[in-house]
């Protein structure tokens, strides 16, 4: 019986987890470039309740000290706001994840 396995080249991109901190009534920009498939964590370091809301994409309600995450499914710019504090906004550009072609190896 033959088994087909895929081997990905060294350096093939895997998804990453990136955190956006909410502190001092503001979203702090992430430290890494975002791509589709990445997990985006919102962490509320404020003493107030906040949301991380991006219209049709996600709506996370965060109590003080709480973190929640979403997987970024679409490329484009996510306009994130806090429903409780509408002046709190951040624009998060999300690029398409690179497509990596693997090589097929046949095992016997």
Angle at 28 between CA 50 and CA 39, to 5 degrees: 80
Residues 22-98, CATH architecture: Sandwich (2.60)
pLDDT in tens, the chain (108 residues): 443 333 444 445 689 999 999 999 999 999 899 999 999 999 999 999 999 999 989 999 999 999 999 999 999 999 999 999 999 999 999 999 987 665 555 555
Q: What is the pTM of this model?
A: 0.79
Do residues 67 and 44 touch, judged by C-beta distance below 8 A? yes
Domain residue spans in the chain?
Answer: 22-98
User: Strands across the sheet with 34-35, in order?
Assistant: 34-35, 89-95, 76-81, 50-54, 58-62
């Amino acid at each position: 019986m033959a088994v087909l396995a895929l081997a990905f080249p060294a350096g093939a991109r895997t998804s990453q987890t990136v955190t956006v901190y909410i502190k001092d009534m503001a979203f702090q920009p992430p430290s890494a470039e975002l791509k589709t498939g990445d997990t985006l964590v919102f962490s509320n370091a404020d003493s107030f309740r906040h949301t991380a809301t991006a219209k049709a994409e996600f709506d996370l309600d965060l109590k003080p000290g709480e973190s929640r995450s979403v997987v970024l499914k679409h490329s484009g710019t996510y306009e994130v706001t806090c429903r409780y504090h509408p002046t709190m906004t951040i624009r998060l550009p999300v690029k398409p994840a690179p497509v990596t072609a693997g090589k097929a190896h046949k095992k016997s």
